[in-house]
Amino acid sequence: MVSGVIEFNTTNILSFIKNPYSKNDDFPESEYILVTLAFTFLFFKIYSRNRVITSFFRYEAIFDKLSSQQQEEWKQKIVSMVHALIVAPLSLKVYWDTKYIPYSEIGAYQSNMSLTHIILAIGGAYFIWDFYICILKFKHSGIANLLHAILGLSSIINVVVPNDRPMFQTFVALMFVTEISTIPLNLKFFQYHIDSVSKRNEQYSLIFAILFIVFRNIIIVPLVIVAAINLMLNPIEFYKTILLLFHAILIIGLNSYWGWLIVKKLYKHLIKTKLN
């Protein structure tokens, strides 16, 4: 049995048939709801008091010069950055805990569930805020961001509601490791408006591209593919199975497409640099 994070084979997939999903359910519903509500309040508060945070870093003069659309994006990026800075390290801990677990067993993996529940609660709170903002500011957010918010929120709801719980809770918590690429992406946005000609813009772009390809394409896409195969071999509650498979298709498709665009852009940039 292969135990690497990226390596897997058909033996792992077939062996999983002999290990049906566990029905152990000790989900702390009250604590989960409290944490979700607390972080939902926090994200809305950060959004509404973004100027305080901007002033703390002494960028209020730059913020005031932005257009209304740019100011709205600035406000949303602040909340996005706080969320990423919290969940990315926590999800990296889950990733570290599961690094020797074959991809075919991630769906049923149940270890350090307290950390998993915290990630799901914080992630759920963020997507509640994100969904609300996408509806409220639809002209700015657009359909793509709204669909992303729906995807994230429905993924979490799907694994925290009863029936076949806690199946795929660790799996969904592990998906938040991709938020590590959000950090340099947001830094590039802020840096561009602070100093559009700074070399840091290109540096942040390169870091973002590398982290995106590594975490969203090399690690997550194969993980989702194997998890989807296992789910078809060992279906759980019907509606949960359908939703998880739908989410898997979207994750594989979107991340592969975005990764391809990033690779193309990097290739063109390297060719241009070489010619110059």
List the Cα angle 205/123/16 in 5-degree steps: 95
**Across 242-268, average pLDDT:** 86
User: Residue 92 has what pLDDT?
Assistant: 93
Using CB atoms within 10 Å of the CB of residue 182, give its burial: 0 to 12 exposed, 13 to 18 middle, 19+ buried.
buried
Domain boundaries, the chain: 10-15+26-275
Better pLDDT: 139 or 17: 139
Is the backbone of residue 206 left (phi > 0), alpha (psi -120 to 50) or beta? alpha
According to the model, what pLDDT value does residue 203 have?
93
What is the rounded distance in angstroms from the CA atom of residue 42 to the CA atom of residue 99?
32
Spatial distance between the Cα atoms of 100 and 116, rounded to a whole number of angstroms:
17
With cut-offs at 50, 70 and 90, classify the pLDDT of residue 185: very high
Q: Shortest CA distance to 215 belongs to which of 179, 184, 166, 186? A: 179
The pTM (predicted TM-score) of the whole model is 0.83
In this structure, of 16-30, 128-142, 168-182, 198-212, the range with the lowest mean pLDDT score is 16-30
Percent of the chain clearing pLDDT 90 (strictly above) = 50
Tell me the pLDDT tens digit for each residue of 87-119.
999 999 988 888 777 766 766 666 678 899 999
Over residues 250-257, the mean pLDDT reads: 86
